[in-house]
Every structure is written in structure tokens, then in C-alpha cells.
Structure 1
Amino acid sequence: MSLTKTLASLAIGLISPLLLASAQASDFLVSTDWLEKNLKEKNLRIIEVSVDPGVYERGHIPEAVNFSWHTDLVDPVTRDIASRENFQKLLRNAGVNKDSTIVIYGDNNNWFAAWGAWVFDIYGVNNVKLLDGGRKKWEAEGRPLSPKAPSVKAGNIEVAEANSKLRAWLPDVVSVAKQQSPTTQLIDIRSADEYSGKIFAPAGFAELALRAGHVPGAVNVPWGQAVAADGTFKSVDELRKVYAAAGVDGSKPIITYCRIGERSSHTWFALKKLLGYDVRNYDGSWTEYGNAVGVPVTNLAGTVWGGK
């Protein structure tokens, strides 16, 4: 064997199986097959972020820890994301280290898992991936589930200060609505009926705004247009075509919004992580904007709140 081949063989032997297997995953997505093959890798940390109560406890992906989006990832006093101190403590308790590869997944088409990925992004945590297709695809394929929470050693990760420039705020959206920021595009990812003002919120959801409709100037690209039938993201080329059809090609900064910010996180992930566009997510979304005083609303259906 030549010296070159010998050195190459030694180098390969020094590379961890996880790094070798990473060739089968994208920078921001992993497949269910990839994840099952890498469940035991020591530098891998799996986090479930679901919305339905008890779904994690009934059975989850082996080695996954559970983050509750409405208690762990938010500050319930200030109606904001978790503080840097609390978020770092949460990650360390979950065994996350500086060199960990983090995979997030959840129910409801990964809506809140994507919202979790958005919070990770704000705090500068790298090497975070979303399980393509989420919990639904994992279960549909009959892959293993466990009712036992894993025992993990405390991690050593350090998170950065929150980067507020990576998120949109009410004044940013109002500025676009009033045509004071003509270079920024708004994408409303809710259903057509929500966008038109025919309904205030999807059936069964309690978080309401007193006004129906959408932010003036926003285009409507429902989040579901970004995924295939099995819940996995469409290809990059397909995604570009989906948003280009609505006049969004990445040439301008983008703000995504929905009802409370979770569905729009899914679109934020597609646009920013998969397409590389300049995108901010509007946490609070229509429940904040639609209840705000003195802001303009476009209500195509003319629906008026009746107190019922």
C-alpha cells in the first residue's frame, strides 16, 4: 500500500461514525433513516418539541429529551422567548455540549420543532437540524419509540446573547403595512380563509384576534405548499418555484407570520435554512397584530367579530 493510501486510511479511522454518516444528511435536515442509524452516537442530542400534551410520555424517539414549547422555550412573564440564562440551563440539562449535533422533531408537522429551531438560531447555537417529516413520518414508518426518558450527563454548551435582528417585531410589520419599508416582503402562511378574513383562526384554536384579515401588502403562501404528502420538505428547486410564484425570490428581506408564530417558523426554516434567503419570523403574529390598536388591516371577506 502506498504512503498516500496508508495516510488516507488512518485519517478515515480517526473520523467519527457520526461525521461519516453526516454525508447522508443536509446541513439543516436529517432523514428518518439517517437518524435511526445514528441514535447511539455520543455527540448526537435529540430533542422533541411537540404541542399535544402527553405525546412524548406515550412514546418518543429513543434517546430524545422533551422540551415543552410553552414552558421551556418561552418566558411566561414577559411573553417572550426563554432568557439566555434559562435557555442555556435547559440545554445543559439536556446534555448538549459545544460540539453536539442537535436534531429537533415534533408533532403537528414539525411546527413547534421549527419554532424551537428558530429559538436556537436566535441564541447562535450551531449544528441544529430538523428531522424531515417529523414525528408523523417516523411513526408511519414503524420506527422505534420508547416511553423512557434518557439519562444524560450535564452538557457544557454556552449560548450567545439573543440576536434581536433575527426576529421581526410589531413595529417592523407595521412599517411594511404602511409602506414605510417597501424593500421588505411579508408572507402570510395561514390558510386562504384566514388570510381573506373569512375565519379568525383554524377550528379548535383559542388564540384569537378581534379583527380578521391580513397585514396589508402580505402575500399568502400557506405553509403546506412547502411540503410533500409525507410532510417532508419539497426539493430546493420546487421550493424556489413555490415562492417565486408569489413574487418572493430572495432578492428582498422577508418577514413570515401566521397566527402565533409556529406555522410561520416552518416557512422561516424553508426560506432561510433551505433556500438561504434573508428571513425573520414574527413571533406573536396575527394574535398580536390583529389585536393591536391603530394598525391597518386588509379584510377581503369583511368578517366582523361578533363576540361568539
Structure 2
Amino acid sequence: MADNEYAKADVLVSTQWVADNLQRTDKIRIVESNEDVLLYATGHIPNAVHIDWVADLNDSIRRDYLDEDQFAALLSRSGIGNDTTVVFYGDKNNWWATYAFWVFKLFGHEDCRIMNGGRQKWIAEGRELVKDKPSYPAADYKPAARADYKIRAFRDQVLAHVNAGQPLVDVRSPQEFSGELLHMPGSPQEGALRGGHIKGAASVPWSRAVAEDGTFKTADDLRAIYEGEKGLSPDRNVIAYCRIGERSSHTWFVLTYLLGYPNVRNYDGSWTEWGNLVGVPIENPSRTKS
């Protein structure tokens, strides 16, 4: 695999590809998903629908994602059918776009893609933004049963993973990893009682996978980071985690689709769960005793 030859290159589309296909609303749906849930209203790609990571993708009561019926309703009102090509993009280097992508994959939606470079690149190129909200005929969406086990890890599975000496990737900031900070700078504190990281985890901040223009780094550059620096390899089972599973969905996407790792799971319980569990193995370099 050479420089830009990603393992599953067709999962990425360019801003030009999106511009060329904006009118193909019968086959393609552009989806914007941002950390800033108000950003869509200030201007978005023409014909793009908005999927709110809080209101649309998460259950309003339990710490979990929407169920099959809720997912079907969301896609139906967004005009997305089972055979629709869904192209995600958003702010923060597609951080939340990959999160939405990951949730769609929990339900097995077949054709999901990411617009390489996200909002940043679209705007930098001077491309059109509009404020009008599109309306599409309701689709008849029939979701597969949510298959969490394929790409999602739960706490007991993570503990077994740690005890087996399998690789974990902590994608948070170095300060969160070291235990110096309990949460991401600028984000709300979500209640972790302990700082540090899961025992044995490697620190690879999620943003290292992205170039200055918001596009993903080349395959060679990505392998240099994850394999050359951290010793990961495609034949290992890998779990990625962060604070609530959003940043780690970006790393899950990179390892799974760009580098072709077949067994990568996202631990969305992440540090807000692990940092509150009793008796689990934690390493905290900021303290003399963990």
C-alpha cells in the first residue's frame, strides 16, 4: 500500500465530488454533523440535512444510542433510504461526522462516506453555503438490528482486553492521558472521579491523523504514527477510547477504513465510565501512586 492508497479509498469523497453531485438528491444525501449544534443554521452545503449528535443520535434517557425504530424514523424524515449514499461532513476536522458515520454503521447502513476536509476545506475553497433547510419526501427505511458487538466495546470487554494485554489507543489530549486534566480543555466536566488512562493504553491524540487543511494524512503518514511509533498492526484487536466516544470514533474510522484494520472497536463509555469504576486498572503518571 503506497502513500495515498487507503485500504478503502472509496469511503472518502472530495469537496469537488460533493459539488458535482449536489443535485443527485434521489441517490445521495449530504449530512452535516457538528460539535457546535447551532453551526448548521449559520450556513451549510446546499441540500445538506442536519443530524444533531445530541438530539438525533443519542437516547434521551439512557446512556445509549437510539434504537432501531428511532433510527428508522430519523432516516425516513431525512429522506434516506436503505440504498442511499450518505456523505457526512462537519466541523472540527470531521470529528463529529465520523461519530455519525460510526452510529450509522451500528445499524449496518451500507454506503457511508466522509467528505475529506469537512466544513473547513469547503469554506476555504470559497464554495457556496446556504441557510435554507431542505425538505425531502419521507423514505421507507428498514434498519438492520443494531449490531454493537462488531464495532463497539463495553466495559467488561475492555477489562478482558486489558487483562489479555491487547492494544488500546487513548485519543485524548496528552494532559488528559497523563492525568493532569480530568477532561478536555474547553469542554464540560462530565464527572470522572479519577484522572489518567486505562492501563497499557498508547497515547495517540485523534487530531494527529489530520493535515493542516483538514484532510486526512496519507496512508504512509498514518502508518508511521500508529505502527511505527506505537507498534499497532492489522492482525491485532484494537480498542480506541476518549472521553465519551466521539474523538475515538475518528480514530476508529482511520484505523478501520484508511489503514484497513479488520478488528477495531470504539469504547464509547470511555473515560467518563472508566474513571468512575471501582477497582479497574488505571495508570496516572501525574501522581506518584495510581
Q: TM-score w.r.t. structure 2 length?
A: 0.92
Is 1:195 matched up with 2:177? yes
Select the structure of larger CA radius of gyration: 1
Q: CA deviation at 1:303?
A: 8.7
Is 1:211 matched up with 2:194? yes
Is 1:292 matched up with 2:277? yes
2:64 counterpart residue number: 80
Q: CA deviation at 1:262?
A: 0.6
- Tell me if structure 2 keeps the 8 A contact 1:189–1:221: yes
1:5 counterpart residue number: none
5+ residue gaps, structure 1, are 1-24
RMSD value over aligned CA atoms?
1.5
Once the two structures are superposed, residues 277-296 of structure 1 have per-residue CA deviations (whole angstroms, 9 ceiling, x without a partner) of 11000112111111112212
1:20 counterpart residue number: none
Number of aligned pairs?
A: 277
Q: CA deviation at 1:143?
A: 0.8
Once the two structures are superposed, residues 62-89 of structure 1 have per-residue CA deviations (whole angstroms, 9 ceiling, x without a partner) of 1011111111101121110111110111
1:77-226 matches, within 5 Å, as 77-165=61-149, 166-177=151-162, 179=163, 181-182=164-165, 184-206=166-188, 207-226=190-209
- Tell me if structure 1 keeps the 8 A contact 2:33–2:50: yes
2:210 to 227, 242, 266: 227
**More relative contact order in 1 or in 2 (CA 8 Å, sep 6+)?**
2
5+ residue gaps, structure 2, are 1-7
- Tell me if structure 1 keeps the 8 A contact 2:172–2:184: no
Is 1:253 matched up with 2:219? no
Q: CA deviation at 1:237?
A: 2.2
Percent identity of the aligned residues?
A: 47
- Tell me if structure 1 keeps the 8 A contact 2:33–2:90: yes
Is 1:283 matched up with 2:277? no
Aligned AA for 1:64?
A
- Match of 2:283, SS state, is coil
CA distance in 1, matches of 2:271, 2:82: 36
CA distance in 2, matches of 1:71, 1:53: 9
1:268 counterpart residue number: 252
CA distance in 2, matches of 1:58, 1:130: 21
- Runs of 4 or more, structure 1, over 4 Å off, are none
- Tell me if structure 1 keeps the 8 A contact 2:9–2:258: no
2:286 counterpart residue number: 301
CA distance in 2, matches of 1:65, 1:202: 29
Once the two structures are superposed, residues 190-230 of structure 1 have per-residue CA deviations (whole angstroms, 9 ceiling, x without a partner) of 11111111111122211241111000010111112111111
CA distance in 1, matches of 2:159, 2:187: 25
Aligned AA for 1:113?
A
